[in-house]
Structure 1
Amino acid sequence: MKFVYATVFAALVAGPAMAVDFRPAMESYLETEIRTWAEDPAIVGAIGAQNAVTGGYDQARVIDLDNAWRAEIGAAAMPTITPVLTGAAADFLRERVGASAGAITEIFIMDAQGLNVAASGLTSDYWQGDEAKFTETYGKGAGAVHFGEVEFDESSQTYQAQISVTVTDPATGQPIGAITVGVDAAHLM
C-alpha cells in the first residue's frame, strides 16, 4: 500500500506531463456509488433537524462552535464533537465506509451553515462553510458537484480526493446541505 501512495504522490508532484487525471474516475464513482445513497432519509432527516437548530446562527456563533470543536480534539470531554460522531446518520455513514472495501476514507454531511451534522470519523474542523466542498455545492444549489484535488488528508492519513454534492430535500427539491466523500486515490487509478 505504501508503494501505491508513493506512486500517487510522485504522479502528483511530477507536473502536468505526468499528472494523473482523476476526474473521469471521480465522476464515475459519484454516479455508481455516491448518488445511490447520498439522499438517504437518514442523511436528509439529520440535516433537516440540525438546520432547524442552526438556521438562526450568526457568523460569530459559527466561529465559536468551530473553535470549540478544534479545542476538543484529543480532549476527554467532547460535547461539540460527540453528537456528530454518534447517532443514526453517523452510523449510516460508517456503514458506507465499511461497505466500500477501502475506497472511501471518510464521509461527512453539512447543514445549510456548513457545520458538520454527522461524520464517519473525526474531522479537523467543524465548519466547512468557507471551503469549496461547501461553497461549490450548497452555495451553487441543487445538483451542484465539486471534485477536489488529490491531496494528503490529515484526518484520514491517506491521499484522497473529495467528491462533494449538494443534498436536497426530496420532497421540495430545495438544497438543505452538502455531503463530502473522501475517496482513496488508489481506488481512482
Structure 2
Amino acid sequence: MTAILLLTASMAKAHDLASPQAEAGQANLDEQDGFLILQTNLHPPYQELQNGILSGYSVSILNCVFDRLDIGYGLAIAPRQRNREMVRTGKADGFFLARISDAMDEYAVASNPLALEKWVWVSPAIKSDDPRVSRRPKPGDFSTVGAILGSNEAEWLLEQGYTDVMRVPSIASLVGQVAAGRVEYALVDKHSFEFARKELQLTADKFRMQFERYVPLVVYFSKRYVAKFPDRLEELNKVLEFCETRPMHLEPWEREAIEQVQLPIIRQFARSPELLVRIQSVLDKAESPSEEKKRLKDVVWAEMARKGKKSKTANKILENELSEYLRMFEATIGEQIAEAFIFDTHGQIIGMSRLTSDFDQSDEAQFQMIDSVNREKALITDIWYDASTRAFLSQITVPIIDPDSGQTLAALTVGLNVSAALRPES
C-alpha cells in the first residue's frame, strides 16, 4: 500500500513549513528504496488543507498513481520558490504542480500533465459599452497587474516582459485587491479564482474575465531521482492516464469558436474528392470483419500501443495512402491539430496521421456519427488529456458521405489541440 506522510506546520502556518523538518525527513526516508518526497504549495482546489489533511484534485490523482505503482511517498508544504530550490539542490525528489519551463528543465524532468489550467485576466466589472471592455494589459502600458507571489502566472508575466507586477501572498488576497480596485488586472487560473470568489462571498457581477491561455501543469522530478530510478517516470506516465478521470468542459464561447473556425475546415476536408478517392480505395480492398477478429486486432493493437509499439495491423494502416493524406492535412493546419483518423462503418480504423490508442471505435462516443441521421451534425467533445499525442484535446467527429449514393462511408475524427487552437491570437 502507498504510505503518505504529510509534513506540515499548524494549519494557520501551513505555507511556512520549516525547512529542517522536510530535510530531516528526506534524509531518513532516502533509506527506503523508491520512497520519495514531493514538495507542493497550497493552491485550492488543486491542493488544499481540510482538517489538517492535504487533499484536492492533484493529490487524489497522485494517490491513485502511487497506489497503482505500490510506491510510498511523502508530501511537504512550503512556498513555491522554496519548493523549486529544494528540488534543484537535491533536498526533495519532486515538486507539483508546475508549468513546463526552461528553467525547471535544467535540473528536473516533467511528467505528463496532471491538470490543465485556464488562465484568465480578472478585473473589476465595467459597463458593456465601455471602450476598455475588450482591452488587455500589455507590458509597459502602466496598468496595475497582479499575480500570486511565486506562482506559475507570476513567472510567466516576468518572461513576457511585465516588469512591475504586484505580487500578493494568496489567491484570496489577490481577488480581494481586484474587488477593491487596487489591482486593475490579475492573471489567475479560472478554477482557482471561482473557488476564492465564492469563499469571499463575492458575486460574479463584480468582475469581468478575459481568457488568456491554457497551461498544462505537471510534476517535476529531480534529475537526481530520475537517474536513481530510470524507469520510474515512464511507469508513472503510463499509470497516469488511468487516474485522470475529469474532463474540462468546453464553455459556450469555446464551443462556438470551434464551430466557427475549425469545424468548417474539417467539414471541407471530409468532403474533398481527394480524400473520398483514398477512402474508397481502402474500403474496396477491405474484408468484412467478424466481431471476434475485430476484437482480437483491437486487443493486440491497444496492448502494443500502451508500450509505444505498433501492431502489424497498425503498421499496415500507417503506411497506406489515406494515412499519408491525413498527415498532409495535419501538417497544413499546423500545431492546432494533434491527430486525425478515419474509421469505417464497423468502427475499424482505416487511416490515421499517427498511432491511436485503440483500433475499434465502435464502443466510443464518436461512432454515433456513422448513423445516417447524424450526417448534418458534428460531435465536439469536452477537453481531456490524450497520452498518445501528449496534448489536451477536444475531438471533432464528422461523417464522410458518398456524394453520389448519399451513404455514410466512414467518419473523420480530428483531435484539436486546445492549448494552440483557443489562444486569443489564434
TM-score after normalising by structure 2: 0.39
2:378 is the counterpart of 1:145: yes
* CA deviation vs aligned residue, 1:6-38 (integer Å, no higher than 9, x gap): 4339557979x8965121122123443111211
User: Does residue 117 of the first structure (1) align with residue 227 of the second (2)?
Assistant: no
Where does residue 92 of structure 1 map in the other structure?
Answer: 325
Counterparts of 1:20-169 in structure 2, within 5 Å, are 21=251, 22-52=254-284, 56-73=288-305, 74=307, 78-135=311-368, 137-139=369-371, 140-169=373-402
Specify whether residues 2 and 168 from structure 1 end up closer, same or farther in structure 2 by C-alpha distance, changes over 3 A only: farther
Q: Which structure: greater strand fraction?
A: 2
CA distance 1:99–1:64, change in 2 (3 Å) = same
Distance 2:321 2:330 in 1: 14
The amino acid across from 1:129 in the alignment is S
Aligned residues: CA RMSD: 2.9
Distance 1:41 1:79 in 2: 29
Give deviations 1:120-159, integer Å, cap 9, x for gaps.
0010000111111112x11344223111111111111111
State the match for 1:7 in structure 2.
117
Inter-CA distance 172–89: structure 2 relative to 1 (3 Å threshold):
same
Give the deviation of 1:41 after TM superposition: 3.5
Distance 1:183 1:129, change over 3 A: same
The answer to whether the Cα contact below 8 Å between 1:11 and 1:20 also exists between their aligned partners in 2 is no
In 2, are the aligned partners of 1:108 and 1:119 still within 8 Å (CA)?
Answer: yes
Give the structure 1 partner of residue 38 of structure 2: none
Query: Is the contact between residue 370 and residue 399 of structure 2 (CA under 8 Å) also seen in structure 1?
Result: yes
Which residue of 1 is the match for residue 416 of structure 2? Answer: 183
Q: Distance in 2 between matches of 1:144 and 1:130?
A: 19
Q: Which has the higher contact order (CA 8 A, sep 6+)?
A: 1
Does the CA contact (< 8 Å) of 1:26 and 1:163 recur in 2? no
**Which deviates further from its counterpart, 137-146 or 155-164?**
137-146
Equivalents in 1 of 2:285, 2:255: separation in Å? 36
> Cα distance 1:168–1:102, how it changes in 2: closer, same or farther (>3 A)?
same
Once the two structures are TM-superposed, the CA of residue 169 in structure 1 deviates from its matched residue by: 0.9
CA distance in 2, matches of 1:76, 1:151: 23
Deviation at 1:76, TM superposition (A): 6.8
Give me the whole-angstrom Cα distance separating, in 1, the residues matched to 2:296 and 2:336: 34
Q: Would you say the 8 A contact 2:401–2:408 is kept in 1? A: yes
| Separation (CA, whole Å) in 1 of partners of 2:319 and 2:304 | 16
Partner of 2:293, secondary structure, is: helix
Unaligned runs of 5+ in 2: 1-98, 102-114, 120-188, 196-203, 210-248
Q: Which has the larger radius of gyration?
A: 2
Tell me the secondary structure at the aligned position of residue 312 of structure 2.
coil
Q: How far 1:105 sits from its partner (Å)?
A: 0.5
Aligned residues: percent identity? 25
5+ residue gaps, structure 1, are none
Measured after TM superposition, the shift of residue 69 of structure 1 is 1.3
Q: TM-score, normalization: structure 1?
A: 0.83
Q: 1:33 to 1:125 in 2, by over 3 A?
A: same
Write the distance in 2 (CA, Å) between the matches of 1:12 and 1:86. Answer: 43
